Chains A and B, each alone.
Chain A
Amino acid sequence: MQKNYFLSKLCGLLILSVILVVLGTLLGSTGASWNVLGPDQTIVFDIRLPRSLGAYLAGALLGLAGGIAQSLFRNPLADPYLLGSASGALLGVGSILCFAYLGNSWLEIIGLNGGAFLGALIGVLASLFLAGGYRSSLRLLLSGVVISVILGAANSLFTFIRPDLFQSIQSFMLGNTTLMHWSGVELMTIALFLCLAITLIISPALDALSLGENTARTLGLPLDQLRLVLIGILALATGCAVAQTGLVAFVGLAAPHLVRKISGGRQRVQLIFSCLGGGILLLSSDLIARTLFAPLEIPVGIVTAVLGGLYLLVLLRRTPFGGRS
């Protein structure tokens, strides 16, 4: 019975995802393109389709990262943006842009993604170190904010050293899907399947953690090692998304919450739905960003920041603050 419910909900989310991708492919700031095999072919297949798929995949990666963060740290307010990993990833991208000369396009993609991954890893580890672990929600969130500010300042320094990169870095800081290419889509597809597969295999550890750390340990789970793997996946997913779309706020926070009521308690289901929810959220925001003031496009990060900020306010009112949330 539960399996059927899962399948019907999964199908519902997948159908919604396909509808949004089709809409994203047909609609743009210059209006709708119906003649996809005629004169609109280039705009549809070379610009809008990779952009829509890219936005969806980046959202799915951020949704997965948010789902992992919230379950791993048992903290409903944890997300890649608030844990410092997103700003770390941005710093990684900024460092590569500023200091590395990457001649060919694949080297550039690997360099930017590698830099973003390392930056995200450093960001989340620094937040955990500053908070003295993950047990206090408030300390962890405040540490995340502090780390984000410090890493953000370091990023601003890059634009000071290299004024010619101001526009590129600014574009990353605002969150942008306009420059998405097929190569980025391919890379994010690989990263998403890799991250999701590993996470789903070790997700029973997250289930067991809901009974408390000690109970999970007595079930024979190597919790310390699994935690490290999950932090690595969180950094990889965030880094990969940020390297393609820049800082897209609150998708990682909101997606797991939006799907939690329909996904029940099992982490395997929650994480799959968080992925789909994140993709739907970011692609919807991208559609708003390109059509709201058409023909003028606004960066998608602004739309998610406004929507997510409002959502965070609602969540803060509902969440009891203190030691362990």
Chain B
Amino acid sequence: MKTRQLSIYRGPCAILTDLNLDIPQCQWTSIIGPNGAGKSSLLQAMAGLLTHTGSLTINGVELSTLTRKDLAKKLAWLDQGSSNSEEFGDSLSVYDTVMLGRLPHQGCLHLPSSADHISVKKTLQQTDAWRLRHRPLQELSGGERQRVLLARLLAVDSDILLMDEPLANLDPPHQADFLKWQENLLARGKTLVTVLHEIHFALRADHLIMLDKGKLHFQGSSQDPRTHQALIALFDGRIRLEKLGNDWVALPN
């Protein structure tokens, strides 16, 4: 995935300006930055949800030239607030919610095939949510709901997964599980793009994109010392990075 001179406007205000990004295939890229930097907007543009100027391509094909259904099969997107969006009435069951992830693969009557059922079962088992399958989504705790929505994301079976705050509401054991799922997905050749506030988790990604006030601050490998310096500068020197075992962690200064 590549962007060239990518800009996004909301009315007269520029949210993102002239971004030239290279998102490596089959790797995990994390987007980080202070509040209001434009991280979620960038992810929404990548999902085809925001109109933009400049170029945004997947394997050399401009995003806007893809049909809605083709784009849905190539890109799966996890919304920052989708776990809280149910507003009234009885919500869908966990199983039916995950089945929604199969919509891009279904015909015009949207009748699930046996392959769809197998996929839903597999992803629910992967995210440790199979036992919740009969329960309404609305009745679940925040962490359980987030796992179900991750299962919905995986059920799309797309090559590129865009996740906005995927660790929201997850407890530490399930955050650790999330890292295992990421490794598993990378082993299956998926490209992962996440927006994360937890810097120590973002540092586990292969590639980091740092945004500040709608502009690119830095992009590079998460293991590169120059990336670490840029990260410290991004937060005005208010954090320091230390190595703990094989991993880098961010601590307040």
Contacts and interface: CB of A to CB of B under 8 A. Distances in A.
B136 A265 contact: yes
A201 B88 contact: no
Interface string B127-165: 000000010110000000000010010001000000000
A325 interface: yes
Name, among B48, B103, B104, B109, the residue most crowded by chain A CB atoms within 10 Å (CB to CB). Answer: B103
Nearest to B106: A204
B86 A210 contact: yes
A211 B85 contact: yes
B90 A218 contact: no
Interface residues of B, number: 39
Contacts of B126: none
Interface stretch (B29-37, B69-77, B201-209, B218-226): B69-77
B75 A260 contact: no
B91 A265 contact: yes
Given A208-B103, A265-B96, A325 B87 contact: yes
A105 B83 CA distance: 54
Given A74-B88, A76-B89, A204-B110, A211 B82 contact: yes
B56 interface: no
Interface in B45-99: 47-49, 68-69, 71-73, 75-77, 79, 81-82, 85-93, 96-97
Given A76-B89, A260-B90, A218 B96 contact: no
Interface residues of A, number: 29
A103 interface: no
B68 A222 contact: yes
B85 A210 contact: yes
Contact of A220 (B68, B93, B137): B68
11 contacts: A2-B134, A74-B88, A75-B88, A201-B110, A207-B92, A211-B82, A214-B44, A215-B85, A219-B156, A264-B93, A266-B92
